[in-house]
Structure 1
Amino acid sequence: MEWWMTLSLILGALMFLMIIGVPVAFSFLAVNVVGAYIFMGGIPGVRQLVVNSTGALTSFTLVPIAMFMIMGEVMFRSGIANDLMDTLDKWFGKLRGRLAFMAVGGGVLFSTLTGNSMGSIALLGSSLTPEMEKRGYKKPMSLGPIIGSSGLAIMIPPSALAVLLGVVGELSISRILIAIILPGLIMAVLYAAYIWIRCTVQPSVAPTFDIPYTPWPEKLKSGAANIVPIGVVVFSVVGVIFLGWATPTEAAASGAVATVLLALFKRRLTVRKFGASMFESSNLSVMILLIVGTAIGFSQLLAFTGVTFGLMNAVMSLDISPRMIVLMMILSVVLLGMFMGPLPIMLITLPIYIPVVTQLGFDPIWFAVLFLIAIETGATSPPVGAALFVMKGVAPKGTTMMDIYRAAIPFLICDFMALILVFTFPQIVTWPVEMMFR
């Protein structure tokens, strides 16, 4: 059987199972088992697939996923996230569009705590949007900043999705975690710049309102109590990697310990909350690890059947520039992001894309960052980006999907600008990595 026929059969079966509602992990598992039985010699092939997947799941490179889940759960259940919003509220003061800036600032801070974009939308949307509407903010400025900034959870460490990308793509997790920092901050700056320009040109979208004056001593005290400790937590994850003091696995563990200690120091972590955090993070980790195991088996199935090699040869024979090939891959991820969640996209495309990118001579870490931006862009792209429907679920009554689409488009343009910048200037990604590993 030709490689393209095998690929069509495997992907067709996978998409069919997902369309009829089979969970992602079980869709991959079914395709892997049947595919191994057909293409890898029956029961011995299935046995080999199980052995390989089991071996991959016992790797310490997967530990950061569980640690990042613990960090997010403890942060939210202990109420530290709400403290951050209160502090930002005091610091922004009477700045025009302050609540929109708070959404971006909150997105950056929450991304360092959770790595979960949908959770960030749910929290910011339910807490900030009603207040924005009450203060007279128009829909583009009450919904858009939350939709846009939520995607920063993918782009600023700790990012569980970045860890998964490293595992599935067989790339250095520490390099990816360092590489995404600068692009994530660029995206945040682009969002803030748009908000400032829009509020200056069209003041009616974000009316000013009187708020109690907060003296500087109180601002400094609040910042020292709520932002500085978060900086310590972030350093315990990213800083120790950058300085070469710890591996990603060790850094993730130190971040989880720092988060628990912070919650204990603030007297916010009861036995019940700690138990609930551990239980929920375990549930999420098991689900992710099951997906990872089936994804690894899927990659091996594609390699054994010759699909990866055949596709690589086909791409290399195309009469277009290598950079155009990479651009086509990235745009396909954006397109898929409108219809699928990040995990299925990653599991389906990475086993095919990473070997091609490497063969073309590009830095796979640079491609990984482009890949993550593209996933985030797709999730906020009309008409069916997943983030848009999460926003609809927490938006005030009377909010239509058209309101959400119009609010998301300017921030979607910012995402594409960031994508173009990273694509055009790979140094944005490679320079911090080279600084760390030189």
Structure 2
Amino acid sequence: MESLYVAAGVLGLIILFLGLGVWVFSGLLLVSIVGLAVFIDMPLARIGTILGPIMIRSSTGWELSAIPMFVWMGEIILRTDISTRLFRGLSPLTYHLPGRLLHTNIAGSAIFAAICGSSAATTATVGKITVPELERRGYQKALTYGSLAGAGSLGLLIPPSIIMIVYGVIAEVSIARLFAAGILPGIMIAGFYSTYIMIVSLLFPSVAPAEGERPTAGDMLRGVVDLMPIGLLITLVLGAIYSGIATPSETAAVGVGVTMAYTAVTGQMNRKVFRESLFASVHTSCMISAIMISAAFMSTAMGFMHVPQDISAAISQFDLSPFALIALLTLLYIVLGMFLEGVSMTVMSLPITLPLIMAAGFDPIWFGIFLILMIELAQITPPIGFNLFILQDLTRTSITRIIVAASPFFLLMCVGVLCITVWPEIVLWLPDQLYSK
């Protein structure tokens, strides 16, 4: 019973420090230090000797070098014409689908996710192009906003994904297998979104008004040409990983080089673009690294205090079935998603949830995709869903209206979570085919 009091005390400290608005990095360090000092009476000198090696070990892994590279690639892309070419290329190709240009939100976000790795960047970049165009052409605003909110979160699921790298390092699983595991679920959920748009458009044709002349074969060919730089970049990055030619870290560096070459050849690279993209990537990468250091220390501290073991033992007393455990974790992550962003959710929860999942017999690769879907749900969950606030800023619309518009897509993602839980082969089939055990 005393051990459960320790677990409750640690949880109380987390709520206290984060509720006071302390930075996540500082909050996790404070929780760890106070917990060790108060609950097991560890001397501060001893805590310091534990912290030093953890800081070095958790911030110098070779796999982590992929994070700043993929972030930098995304920041450069944000400052080029790739997003404009994406919309221009997709427009004639989606004309014949019910819903027409609304599908550019879905397809554009899925394609951009494959070269960016960030949900916020995907939503902001695609939204800057599609939202004004769709509003100008008379498309229903609710479906425009909702489809972008849902599809923008695909930046986390479709590789290369920064959160996959973070999970892979912490859970000690293959990042390349994680990348492969995210492809089919990403396509499935994008398919759910497009199917929903088509059904709504067939039932209520006014949501996607008919416009303009039917695109010619020449228009479609020009659309394909506009998409070629994006297709080339995706092929180089993902092809190098899945073929085994390069590791994710090496491929990230190649991606940066190819992106720089494209911006240089097209005359878009200048001192301002280089400086702004580099500084933004350093800022984001340092934030992620700091959170991972503090989370690694908290994970070690929880091990000293036996928190994961005690919580696992307490849950095991309920004799939950594997599906009941997943249902419980789903509720836990939805609640966490109301208050935390993706990296924080991952690093704070894994020391507790990963042992439970492994004990229940789930594949850690599968759980990585499940966790990322939970984080995607958090992106469109109030009160601090990042995609919701990005859309509010883009559209100058009330947050309540954005939340209502995103609700159907939240439910569709929940259906996606249910599908991968009932049929885990959706996640595991492709990595098993590419990387035979």
Which band: TM-score by shorter chain?
Answer: over 0.9
Residue 75 of structure 1 and its aligned partner are, at CA, apart by 0.7
Q: Specify the alignment match of 2:94 in structure 1.
A: 92
What per-residue deviation string (whole Å, max 9, x for no partner) do you get for residues 75-110 of structure 1?
111222222122122333465522211111111122
The 5 Å alignment of 1:235-384 reads 235-382=235-382
Deviates more, 1:256-265 or 1:73-82: 256-265
Quote how far apart the aligned CAs of 1:384 are.
5.2
Which secondary structure does the structure 2 equivalent of 1:21 belong to? Answer: coil
Amino acid at match of 2:217: W
- Secondary structure of 1:113's aligned partner: helix
C-alpha separation between the residues in 1 aligned to 2:62 and 2:92?
Answer: 42
| Contact 1:187–1:414 (Cα < 8 Å) also in 2 | yes
Which 4+ runs in 1 deviate beyond 6 A?
none
Q: Give the secondary structure class of the aligned counterpart of 1:98.
A: coil
Confirm or deny: 8 A CA contact 1:338 1:386 kept in the other structure: no
Q: Distance in 2 between matches of 1:10 and 1:271?
A: 48
In structure 2, how many angstroms separate the alpha carbons of the residues matched to 1:352 and 1:236?
Answer: 37
Distance 2:314 2:343 in 1: 26
CA distance in 2, matches of 1:222, 1:125: 19
Deviations 1:315-370, CA, capped at 9 Å, x for gaps: 22322212211221123212321332222221221111011111222101111111
Corresponding residue for residue 150 of structure 2: 148
Residues 90-99 or 265-274, more deviating: 90-99
Within the candidate set 194, 206, 209, 1:207 is matched to 209
Once the 2 structures are TM-superposed, how far is the Cα of residue 214 of structure 1 from its aligned partner? 4.6
Conserved 8 A contact 2:84-2:129 = no
Q: What is the CA distance between 1:131 and its match in structure 2? A: 2.6
Identity, % of aligned positions: 31
3-state SS in 1 of match to 2:320: coil
Determine if contact 1:74/1:277 at 8 Å carries over to the other structure: yes
* CA displacement, residues 35-72 of structure 1 (integer Å, 9 cap, x when unaligned): 34454432122222221221221110111111110110
Measure how far apart 1:420 and its partner are: 0.8
Partner Cα distance (2:133, 2:282) in 1: 34
Task: After TM superposition, list the pairs within 5 Å mapping 1:103-252 onto structure 2.
Answer: 103-210=105-212, 214-224=215-225, 226-252=226-252
Aligned-partner SS, 2:272: helix
Match of 2:394 in 1: 394
1:426 to 410, 417, 424: 424
Which residue identity does 1:406 align to in structure 2? V
Q: Is the 8 A contact 1:94 1:210 kept in 2?
A: no
Note if contact 1:97-1:195 (Cα within 8 Å) is conserved in structure 2: yes
CA displacement at 1:264 relative to structure 2: 2.3
Displacement of 1:383 in angstroms is 5.7
Give the TM-score of the pair, scaled to structure 2: 0.93
- Sort the Cα spacing of 1:436 and 1:41 in 2 relative to 1 into closer, same or farther, 3 A: farther
Q: 1:178 & 1:117 partners in 2: Cα distance?
A: 18
For residues 119 and 206 of structure 1, the distance between their equivalents in structure 2, rounded to whole angstroms, comes to 26
What amino acid is the match of 1:216? A
Alpha carbons 1:141, 1:206 under 8 Å: kept: no
Please give the per-residue CA displacement for 1:109-153, whole angstroms capped at 9, x wherever unaligned. 221122221222223333322332232222322211111100110
* Count of matched residue positions in the alignment of Structure 1 and Structure 2: 434
Once residues 92 and 283 of structure 2 are traced to their aligned partners in structure 1, the CA distance between those partners, rounded to angstroms, is 36
Aligned to 1:209, what secondary structure does the other structure show? coil
Q: Which runs of 5+ in 2 are unaligned?
A: none
